[in-house]
């Protein structure tokens, strides 16, 4: 199975901050990498798919990048509604695996 790791596991930030979350795959997954946002009691939300493509309706302050097996989610200017847990997930091969997540706290 492909193992996914993520860092940091949590971070504190303020509104307006630039935030970056890193994700690494244990082997090459090309660009088959998705990012999700999860809030308690809410439906998980797809933010980015195929490493770079912004899902319809997602604000442009979210972006994704890739370097080999390393992927990054960037929030250019953190907004109050962005405090949540973020997960990366690979869809290169089954089983589809998620990283443990990054919880973004209010500083």
Partner 1 sequence: EVQVVESGGGFVNPGRSLRLSCTPSGFIFSDYVISWFRQAPGKGLEWVGFIGSKPYGGTIKSAAYVKGRFTFSRDDSKGIAYLQMNSLEIEDTAMYYCARAPPGPVAGTPYYFDYWGQGTLVTVSS
Q: CB–CB of 54/48 below 8 Å? A: yes
- The H or E element that residue 105 is part of is strand 102-106
100 contributes a contact to partner 1 by CB under 8 A: yes
Tokens read off for 48: 């980015």
State the nearest-atom distance from the C-beta of 46 to partner 1, in Å.
5
Nearer to partner 1, 30 or 77 (CB): 30
* Residue 49 within binding range of partner 1, rule CB under 8 A: yes
> Which of 45/66 has CB closer to partner 1?
45
Q: Residue-wise over 36-45: b if at least 16 C-beta within 10 A, else e?
A: bbeeeeeeee
Torsion angle, CA of 61/7/25/30, rounded to 10 degrees?
20
State in angstroms the smallest separation of the CB of 83 from partner 1: 17
Q: Which two tokens stand for residue 106?
A: 């209010």
- Interacting positions 80-99 with partner 1 (CB under 8 A): 87, 89, 91, 94-99
Q: Considering the rule CB under 8 A, would residue 76 count as an interface residue with partner 1?
A: no
Chain residues binding partner 1 by CB under 8 A are: 32, 34, 36, 38, 41-46, 49-50, 55, 87, 89, 91, 94-101
């Amino acid at each position: 199975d492909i193992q996914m790791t993520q860092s940091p596991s949590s971070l504190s930030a303020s509104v307006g901050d630039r935030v970056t979350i890193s994700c690494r795959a244990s082997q090459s997954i090309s660009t088959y990498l998705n990012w999700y946002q999860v809030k308690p009691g809410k439906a998980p939300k797809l933010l980015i798919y195929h490493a770079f493509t912004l899902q319809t309706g997602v604000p442009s302050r979210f972006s994704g990048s890739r370097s080999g097996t390393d992927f990054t989610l960037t929030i250019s200017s953190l907004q109050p509604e962005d405090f949540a847990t973020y997960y990366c997930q690979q869809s290169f091969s089954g089983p589809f695996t998620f990283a443990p997540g990054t919880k973004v706290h209010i500083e």
